[in-house]
């Protein structure tokens, strides 16, 4: 029986939540260990394309996510200085018809709540900072910073770019600073209303070496979020982020279009985050441990597909487990890697290049992907 096999998931982020829900739906015993003491509604937005909404359909949350999200009709790219349109990528009804699901933008915290909702309270244990992990051959032993231990038949590392599970598989190695930072700010609809500008639903403002991505995070259009990409060779803080300011934003986007200047003027609080990266990893799995999401393929956020790749990983991992069965788990994990590595690497490379949808192009290879109807690649022995 599936319920006799115990899965431990390290990290309850979006990828960890997805794999936990899908494994539980498949009848497995799942426990998620999360380092944070609790989750809060952090001030960040996120895109969920049709490729992910089809997975949410399988998870039973597609309608909930759709109802609370903004549904842009287009992704616009515009010249940051002149305002000229560089691309108009149709979404909205076009996405529903051509890609089989909606394209939405939403607050990350709201999305996270909905993704975790199919789980029971006892499925997620907070304040669990993994310190060491040992695959004994028959099971995996985990030791946490609070001195407690836990055992599982299999461990899934969904613990991000600084993954302890990745470190166990490949050794300790710090991620690389990309030379870029991201400013992040959430602006209320009340603040926006003070400015006489057309704040479009989903728009990326570009110049040669920097950009600003902006979109609504609720269906009510009462929150507008921006995230930037700006070169900063001098980042030397060990913090995850630092406070920024309107003045720093004005300097970074000097000469940009009046709508961008209005956004900066409307900004009440803004933070600055270093963008870090890793080269593609030589392996995603070993024996009873397997990685997903940023633990194995972190990327700059410039394609708005990083979380989507973690959720796709989760869905493919569970699909391969169900296809092969856990009596041959090493083959199941190998099949998962074989069916994810090329796509994840393509998205990682495209995202890091920061060219996605800058000019008119067909995004069907990304948005139209249907993980459950994609034929599985064979693995050669």
The catalytic site residues sit at 47, 215
The C-alpha atoms of residue 297 and residue 376 are separated, in whole angstroms, by 20
Element (H, E) at 169: helix 164-170
Phi/psi of residue 316, each to 5°?
Answer: -70, -40
Helix, strand, coil proportions of the chain in percent (round to 5)?
Answer: 35, 25, 40
* Long-range interactions of 190-197: CB distance < 8 A, separation 24+: 190/222, 191/266, 191/268, 192/224, 192/266, 194/266, 195/262, 195/265, 195/266, 197/258, 197/259, 197/262
Element (H, E) at 187: strand 176-188
Q: Using alpha carbons, select from 22, 7, 80, 1 the residue that is nearest to residue 290.
A: 7
The C-alpha atoms of residue 12 and residue 352 are separated, in whole angstroms, by 25
Element (H, E) at 225: strand 223-231
User: Residue 360: CB partners within 8 Å, gap ≥ 6?
Assistant: 86, 87, 88, 89
Beta bridge partners of 177: 276
Q: Using alpha carbons, select from 33, 110, 3, 28 the residue that is nearest to residue 66.
A: 110
**Tokens, residue 83:** 């305002």
The C-alpha atoms of residue 154 and residue 268 are separated, in whole angstroms, by 45
């Amino acid at each position: 029986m599936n319920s006799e096999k115990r899965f431990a998931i390290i990290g309850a982020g979006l990828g960890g939540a997805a794999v936990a829900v899908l494994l539980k739906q498949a009848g497995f015993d799942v426990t998620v260990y999360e380092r944070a003491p609790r989750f809060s509604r952090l001030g960040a937005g996120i895109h969920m394309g049709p490729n992910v909404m089809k997975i949410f359909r399988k998870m039973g949350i597609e309608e909930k996510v759709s109802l609370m999200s903004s549904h842009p009709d287009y992704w616009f790219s515009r010249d940051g200085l002149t305002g000229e349109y560089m691309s108009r990528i149709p979404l909205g009804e076009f996405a529903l018809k051509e890609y089989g699901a909606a394209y939405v933008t939403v607050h990350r915290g709201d999305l996270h709540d909905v993704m975790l909702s199919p789980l029971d309270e006892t499925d997620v244990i907070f304040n669990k900072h993994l310190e060491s992990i040992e695959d004994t051959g028959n099971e995996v032993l985990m030791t946490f910073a609070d001195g407690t231990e836990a055992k599982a038949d299999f461990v899934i590392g969904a613990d991000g770019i600084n993954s302890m599970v990745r470190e166990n598989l490949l050794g300790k190695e710090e991620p690389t600073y990309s030379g870029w930072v991201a400013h992040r700010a959430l602006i209320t609809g009340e603040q926006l209303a003070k400015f006489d500008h057309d704040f479009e639903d989903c728009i990326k403002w570009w110049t040669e070496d920097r950009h600003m991505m902006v979109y609504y995070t609720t269906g009510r259009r009462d929150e507008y979020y921006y995230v930037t990409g700006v070169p900063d060779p001098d980042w030397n803080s060990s913090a995850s982020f630092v406070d920024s300011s309107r003045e720093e934003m004005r300097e970074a986007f000097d000469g940009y279009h009046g709508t961008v200047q209005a956004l900066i003027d409307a900004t009440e609080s803004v933070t600055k985050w270093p963008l870090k990266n890793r080269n593609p990893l030589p392996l995603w799995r070993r024996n009873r441990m397997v990685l997903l999401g940023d633990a194995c393929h972190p990327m700059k956020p410039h394609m708005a597909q990083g979380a989507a790749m973690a959720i796709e990983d989760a869905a493919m991992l569970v699909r391969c487990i169900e296809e092969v069965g856990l009596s041959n788990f090493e083959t199941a994990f190998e099949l998962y890697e074989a069916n994810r590595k090329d796509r994840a690497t393509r998205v990682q490379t495209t995202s890091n290049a920061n060219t996605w949808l800058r000019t008119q192009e067909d995004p069907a290879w990304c948005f139209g992907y249907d993980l459950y109807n994609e034929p599985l690649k064979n693995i050669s022995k």
